[in-house]
Every structure is written in C-alpha cells, then in structure tokens.
Amino acid sequence: MTRALKAARRDFLFELGTEELPPKALPALEQALGAGVAAHLQAAGLVHGAIELFATPRRLALLVRRLSEQQSDQDIRRRGPPLKAAFDAAGQPTRAAQAFAATCGVAPGALGRERDEKGNEYLHYTGSKAGARTLTLLPGIIGETLAALPTPKRMRWGAGDAQFVRPVHWLLMLFGSEVVPATLLGTVAGRITHGHRFHAPRALTVRSPASYADTLQNRGKVLARFNPRRERVRELVLAAAQAVGGRALISEALLEEVTALVEWPVSVTGRFDERYLSLPREVLIATLQEHQRYFALESGAGALLPWFITVSNIESRAPDVVRAGNERVVRPRLADAAFFWEQDRRRPLADWRPELDAVTFQARLGSMGARVERIAALAAQLAPVVGAQAPRVARAAQLCKADLLTAMVGEFPELQGVMGAHYALADGEDAESAAALREHYLPRSAGDALPVTPTGTALSLADRLDTLAGTFVIGQKPSGTRDPYGLRRAAIGVLRISLEQGLEFNLRALIERAVALASADVAAAAAPTPGAPAPLAPAPAPAPASSTLTQEVYDFMMERLRALYLEGGRLAGVSTEMFDAVLDGAPLSVPDFDARLRALVAFLAVPDAASLTGANKRIANILRKSAGDAGAGASPDPALLREPAERALHAALQHAAPVLAAALGRRDYPAAFAALAGLRGVIDAFFDAVLVNDPDAALRTNRLNLLAALRAHFTRVADLSRLPG
C-alpha cells in the first residue's frame, strides 16, 4: 500500500525525432506510445493529469500534464521464512532469517512475527520505502514503452546498436523546465526540436512542455497533433473539390495515410485527360488513391470527374509547377491502366480458367484450379439453401478466380473480383453471375457489406469454408495472434452471412464436406508421380482424421461466434455461461443457435428461471456422480414409482413432452422454455419428498432414469446446468 503524499507537479514532454515513419503504422504507434506511458505511470504509482499525443512523419511525442514529482511513500509488508526454520536450537537466527532480514535492510532482531490462518508462525517485516523521484523513473518508463511499440520492422543505423523503426535524430525530454538526464536509442535527451524539413529546418528550443505544440506550429510550420491535422486535410480537400464543382471521395484509410505523410498540409488540384473516364470507376479510383494517394472527385450525380486533389507537404511559391508535376506523374499510371484494360479484354474471362490449374495455391493443397473445384462443389451444396440456381452457381464458381491472372489484377490486387465482374459483363455473362464474382470476396473485413445475390452468397460461403477447412487440414491453424491465412476473418464472414441473412444450413455437415474435399486434394498432391525420383525431404505428417478436423474447425468457428456475442455486442445480456449452455445443445444452424440464445436470455429474466437453473445443476451433479449405476439413462419404469412426488413428476413429464416437441418442431423456443418452466412445482416437490439414492438399487436406478429423462428434456433447448445458480 502507499501513503498519500501531496507532491509538487510538473508537465512532462517527450519527443522522438526520426526519419520519416511508416505512414500506415503512424496512428498505431501514436496510440501505443500513449497507452504504454499511461500504463507505466500507473504501475509506478505516479499521479498525473491528461496525456496529449502528437505524431507527424518525423516525430512521436506526448505531453503528460501535472505529473507528480515523486512517488508516494510505500508501506511494505513482507512475510519471511517459517519460525521453525528461522532459528536454530540455540535460538540463533539461521541463514534463512539472516538473508530475509538483509533483503529488508534490517537486523534479524528487528523482524516481527505473524501467524497465518492455519496457525503457522512466520517472520514478518513491516516498514516503509520512500517514493522515488519521478525524474529518475522517466528514462526507464519511456525506454520500456519504446521497446514495446508495435513497429513493423526495426533497423539499425550508424555505428551504434540502437534499433527502431527508423533512424533517430533527436530526443527531447523535459520535466517542467528541466531536461531529463537520459540516453535512449543512442541519443542524448535535450530541449531541442526541429520544425518542417523545408520551411523551418533550423533547431528550435522548447522552454516548457506546455509551449511545445505552439512552438512547432508558429515557428516550425508543423501541425503536431494528428487528429486536428487530419481534420485540416479533410477541410482542404473538401474546399478544393467544391472550387471545381465536384465532391471529393474521401476514404478514411486514405485520409489517415495522407495525414501521416504531411506536417504542413497544402491542397493541390490537378486534372487528367477525360478519355480515361471510360475506364471502370474502380480502376480510376485505385489508380488515383492506391498508387498516387490522390483524392478522386465526382459530380453531384455520382459520375467521376477528370480532377484529382493531392495534399502536399510544402507551401510552394510556384503552385502551378507542383500541379503540373502531379499531373505529369499520374498520366502514365492512367495510361498503364487503360492498356491493361484493353489487353485483358482481348480474351474472354473464361479463357483464363484452364491456366489456374498451373498456378499453385498452396504446396500441399494443390493448384488454384483445384481450389476452384472445391469451391464449386461446396457452392453447389449451398445453392438450394440460399435460393440460387444451380447452373448459375456452377458457372460463377468456375469464373470466380479467373481474374487473378489478368494484367489489371496483377497491377491492382485489391481489384480481384471487381475486375472479374467487369470482364464477365463485357463477355455477356448474366448480371447475377458477374455480380457474384465481386460479391464472393465479401465481407472483406469486420462490418463490411455482405453479398446480396444468392449466387454471390453461395460462393462467398464456399470460399471461406474451403479456406478454413484447407488450412486446418494442412496443420496451419492460427496460434496466438498469428493468423496468416485470415481464418478468423473467414469464420466471422460465414457466421455473419448466416446470421444476418437467416440462412439455415447444417454448419457441421458443410465443414465435414469441406474437410473431405481438402483432404482428398492434399492426398492427391502428396501422391508420387509415376517415374519421378524419390523426394529428398521427408513427407509431411499425415493429417488428423476427418472427424477430428471437422470438430476442430467447428470449435474454432464457435469461438468466433462467442466473440460476436460477448465482444461484438450482438445481443445484450449474454454471458459465457449462457453461450455454453446453448452450445451444449448442438444447434445445427447458426440462426437456430441465435434463436435459442435469445430465448434463453429472455427466459432467465422470469422468476422461475433461478429455481430451474439450480435444479438442473443439482440433477447434473447427481447423474454425474451416479454414472456407474446400471440402467441409468433408460426410460423410468412407472411400476417402480412409489412416492406421490415422483409419480407427479413422471406424469408432468409425459404431459410436457408433446408440448415441448411441438414447440421445438416449429422452433418456438420461448414456448419451449415456458413448457419447461411449468415443471418447476413438481421438480421442487420431488427433491423435497424423494430420496434419489435409495438403498433399494432398483428404486435408485429408476429415480436416476427419471432425472435423466427430465434433464434430456431441458438440454433439448439449452443446458441450464451450465449457468450459475
């Protein structure tokens, strides 16, 4: 524990000046810096005010307001060795007692004694430790935070051993007006920062932490705060678009990246040849945004305009020269895109399909052509479920990966599926098949749109199930935070499509089919070619049995479903125990799981729920302890029901069974829970009046069978014994 100490407070400023940082990583680095320092300050017991963050292409910084100058004094309580081991027969301290006293900084005679809850006596030390000065703690806090930053890749520079994501040029650390004595990443801390590389390259002295942001903005031409700079970029782009009568297409990802590339944003409007407007919209946007980091413009009617806006990091005295330079750079990019479009259109999309057989998808899973056939087989099984026409699904499945070999997708990988749809329409394929080529990649990320057409839905589900099954078959399932094949994303995609579109399919059966298809291709790929020399490397270990793999994939998907409910906020009030209670009922489809879970959440709000939950736990415990009794689990014999309470329970079960079956048949789970809730009275009376473990073996077994029948009725909806109660 600590004793409160009213220590003086000062602002603390840290800034690390570097070469240009990776733009896509900059927001994450900024947030990790703030979170890391906050966590270390809390662990050190240092009181502080707000933490302000700063991030530009050449710096990471933070300002901690009103940071305590010293830790509070700490009360120390430590338990030492047992008394019997602390003193010898002559009553002298043993080496154990002396060592404990030394670590506490006192003589053995200064140690006290305490007794634990079992009556054992120990040596004990009570004392206090003065809090350390914050000035001495800050280098370690910053150093540990920097070491833990999620940097894409670290590098060395110069002759030193320091490593960071980019070479470090300066280090600023001020505690109040005092420089913190520290050397981090091979750089000595000072009070010097640097402004804009071109507008204000000279060194700038920071007198106090509070003056940092204003110093950089007013004297250094640097907007150091990331979020305000991002909004400034947005304002500039919107204003520039309005000036030419257009509307800027601002994706948040591009806006973040551009913000991470500039310290002093200036908008520049450029123009390109109108003939390129004949290209597909996505091609133009990808050329401008992905390759050039330009913002595209559209008219009020949604048509693209021959204008673009770029954000420069310099306020040029010759803006026309800057504009002309950007126009000159984008021209060949657009010409390349037009060339790829024309080249790809020279042959039908279907002509690319045979060439997929020669493209390796994964060494053990075979070619991309083999993957297409697996997707086609799974999609055919899904077609009636989603209401798709089988011939259309079969045709779209054969074309779904063909555009991967086109020149356009080779240049713009993010356009896979999109270009397939354009080429399919140009070839005269029907609109739904063409749309399916685009849609089968949906959803690409959490919260992304789902496929709309039945054909696209079938292909999307099949594609993801094949990815999941194939990766598990070759033993590459995710471990920890690593997920190189995007299996978590694939699983969530399947679950979202099934849930949000209400698709009723047997998930386990589909997984089993996908595993079987992938296993067959793995076996085919591993089979030796006749006449080929024996391989030098040992053959990979055989895959686990199909049933085991099916269960592993199913369990993996159920964990993702659990995350959707517990972390994704899909249904309020859901707990881990509720999820497990429904999971134990083994629902065949995801919508069925959702319906059961919603009914369970509603049921647990009624007064009878707690009593029934407790009874289920009691029944489960009784049956588990008596699992070895002969006959347990068979139907109860009415002739052996001696007590009125057990006869009443049996009669109530006989009456409730058809009601429950009818409710389950129409998947009216609230009605099913209502039927079960009606048993509360006879269940309570049974436990009040009947001795289950009767000395008579026949009566005991019959009562266990009665309880097993009761439990079987409850678990047809959800296993209430899983719930706390």
- Express each pLDDT in 194-252 by its tens digit: 999 999 999 999 999 999 999 999 999 999 999 999 999 999 999 999 999 999 999 99
Question: Residue 1: pLDDT band by 50, 70, 90 thresholds?
Answer: very low
In this structure, the answer to whether residues 496 and 604 fall within a common structural domain is no
Any idea what the CATH number is for the domain that residue 192 is in?
3.30.70.260
Per-residue pLDDT band at 267 (split at 50, 70, 90): very high
pLDDT single digits (tens) 544-589: 667 889 999 999 999 999 999 998 788 888 999 999 999 988 888 9
- Measured CA to CA, the distance from residue 55 to residue 222 in angstroms comes to 10
Does the model's pTM come out above 0.85? no
Residue 90 has what pLDDT?
Answer: 83
pLDDT beyond 80 at 39: yes
Print the domain residue range for 312. Answer: 226-344
- Neighbour-count burial of 105, counting CB atoms closer than 10 A to its CB (0-12 exposed, 13-18 middle, 19+ buried): exposed
- pLDDT greater than 70 at residue 535: no
In angstroms, what CA-CA distances link 585 with 339, 553, 613, 617, 713?
58, 18, 15, 15, 11
Q: Would you place residue 530 in the very low, low, confident or very high pLDDT band (cuts 50, 70, 90)? A: low
* Residue 502 and residue 647 in one domain: no
447 and 301 fall within a common domain: no
Q: Which of these, 239, 244, 249, 247, lies nearest to 270 by C-alpha position?
A: 244
| Tens digits of residue pLDDT in 270-279 | 999 999 999 9
In angstroms, what CA-CA distances link 195 with 11, 56, 171, 203, 347? 22, 11, 14, 7, 55
Q: Same domain for 327 and 230?
A: yes
Residues 243-264 have pLDDT tens digits of 999 999 999 999 999 999 999 9
Is residue 537 assigned to a domain? Answer: no
Q: Which residues contact 279 (CB under 8 A, 6 or more apart)?
A: 334, 337, 338, 341
* Domain shared by 299 and 373, yes or no: no
Mean pLDDT of 167-182: 97
More confident residue, 127 or 94: 94
Residue 394 lies in a domain: yes
Last-in-domain residue among 163, 189, 220: 220
Report the distance separating Cα 68 and Cα 11, nearest Å.
Answer: 9
Contact 513, 373 (CB under 8 A): no
Nearest CA-CA partner of 55 in 201, 172, 228: 228
Backbone angles phi, psi at 89, to 5 degrees: -65, -25
> Are 483 and 462 contained in the same domain?
yes
Q: In 474-607, where does DSSP find H-type helix?
A: 487-500, 507-526, 546-566, 576-583, 590-603
Q: What is the pLDDT of residues 317-366, one digit of tens each?
A: 999 999 999 999 999 999 999 999 999 999 999 999 999 999 999 889 99
Residues 200 and 263 in one domain: no
Q: What is the pLDDT of residue 145?
A: 97
pLDDT of residue 40: 96
Out of 300, 318, 344, a domain closes at: 344
599 & 684 share domain = yes
Give domain status of residue 281, yes or no.
Answer: yes
Q: Taking residues 627-655, report their average pLDDT.
A: 83
Which residue is associated with the tokens 């009636």?
A: 384
Q: Say which CATH number the domain at 490 has.
A: 1.10.3210
Q: Is residue 563 part of a domain?
A: no
513 and 370 within one domain: yes
**Which pLDDT value is given to residue 547?**
81
Report the pLDDT value the prediction gives residue 108, as an integer from 0 to 100. Answer: 87
Domain co-membership, 247 together with 150: no
Give the pLDDT score at 3.
45
385 and 236 inside one domain: no
Q: What is the mean pLDDT of residues 639-643?
A: 91
- Average the pLDDT over 67-96 and give the result: 86
Nearest to 135 by CA among 62, 35, 68, 212: 68
Q: What is the pLDDT of residue 2?
A: 45
Query: What pLDDT is attached to residue 4?
Result: 43
Is-contact 57 7, C-beta < 8 A? no
Q: How long a stretch of residues is the chain? A: 725
**Given this model, what pLDDT does residue 620 score?**
87
Q: Considering its fold, how many domains does the chain have in total? A: 5
What's the 3-state SS for 84-101?
HHHECCCCCECHHHHHHH
312: CB partners within 8 A, 6+ apart: 262, 265, 266, 267, 268, 322
- How far is 497 from 450, CA to CA, in rounded Å? 7
Give the CATH number of the domain where residue 707 resides: 1.10.730.10
Q: Looking at 74-88, 166-180, 446-460, 522-536, which range is the least confident one?
A: 522-536
**Amino acid 305: pLDDT:** 97
Residue 13 lies in a domain: yes
Q: Quick check: is 299 in a domain? A: yes
What percent of the chain is predicted at pLDDT more than 70?
95
Query: Average pLDDT, whole number, for the chain?
Result: 91
Question: Do 44 and 103 sit in the same domain of this protein?
Answer: no
pLDDT (mean) for 97-106: 87
- The pLDDT, as a whole number, for residue 5 is 44
Q: Give the C-alpha separation, 714 to 720, whole Å.
A: 7
Show which of 293, 311, 344 is a domain's final residue: 344
Q: Is residue 565 part of a domain?
A: no
Portion of the chain with pLDDT greater than 90, in percent: 71
Condensed to tens digits (0 to 9), the pLDDT of residues 357-370 reads 999 998 899 999 99
